[in-house]
Amino acid sequence: MEKYDLLDVPHLIYVMDPMCSWCYGFAPVFHRIKQEQEGKLNFKLVLGGLRANTEPMDAENIAKTKQHWQDVEQVTNQPFNYSFFDRTDFIYNTEPACRAVITVRYLKPEAELEMAEKVQTAFYAGNNDVTNPTVLAEIASTFGIEEDAFLEKFSSEDMLAKSQQDFVIARHLQAVAFPSVYILNGHEVNLLSRGYRTYEAMSKLIENALEQINKQFK
């Protein structure tokens, strides 16, 4: 039988978007899961490309977005800066934030998830414009990445293409809502969770999935 070394260890695939409010709410849960499962599972981050808007938010979208934030804050206790809604003509395009995380994936792979988390915090808690490449470069610099090097990579055709690849993978996985978590075992991918879940619920889902995988090899 052909051996696939890359797939010998089960992978947890996390499909998210840094400008998805429920992903922001889920961030502490996934961070804890990753810390505790290190060595038992490998982790793969897929950026989903939640919105590719080209027009400023209208009153209806502003109202819906504010309601989403309030719901997430109530359920998860994550901090939100509602002065965001004082902005005018904001174009809610999540592609740059996704591309920034993917850029860090290639410049400093070990900082990829932390970059996603810092972009989330900068946007939701800090009211920073994370559609702005300069803001994203400043965040990347906290990981020791020079801003000019980041901006050059971020603006390249290669990173634009890599971002689209992630979005295609998300669609292929049928990640119709974020956050979505899948488990990859060999060549078999199964949906583990869609939408926000508590740490306790996620831990149980992962435990059950690993038990099933272990049974296959006994």
Q: What is the pLDDT of residue 2?
A: 36
21-37 vs 112-124: helix crossing angle, rounded to 10: 150
Strand 11-16's sheet: what is its strand order? 42-47, 11-16, 180-185, 188-194
Residue 54, token pair as written in the block: 């080209």
Provide the pLDDT for residue 3.
Answer: 40
> Which has the closest alpha carbon to 27: 114, 144, 97?
114
Side chain identity, residue 157: E
Domain residue extents for the chain: 5-216
pLDDT, tens digit, 9 for 90 and up, residues 52-61: 878 999 999 9
8 Å CB contact between 11 and 183: yes
Q: Going by CATH, does the domain composed of 5-216 fall within 3.40.30.10?
A: yes
To the nearest 5 percent, what fractions of the chain are helix, strand and coil?
55, 15, 30
pLDDT in tens, 145-196: 999 999 999 999 999 999 999 999 999 999 989 999 999 988 889 999 999 9
Please tell me the predicted confidence (pLDDT) of residue 54.
84
If the chain, 218 residues long, is cut into consecutive pieces of 10 residues, what is the mean pLDDT of each piece? 54 97 97 92 93 88 96 98 94 96 98 98 98 98 98 98 96 94 91 96 94 74
What is the pLDDT, as a whole number, of residue 7? 56
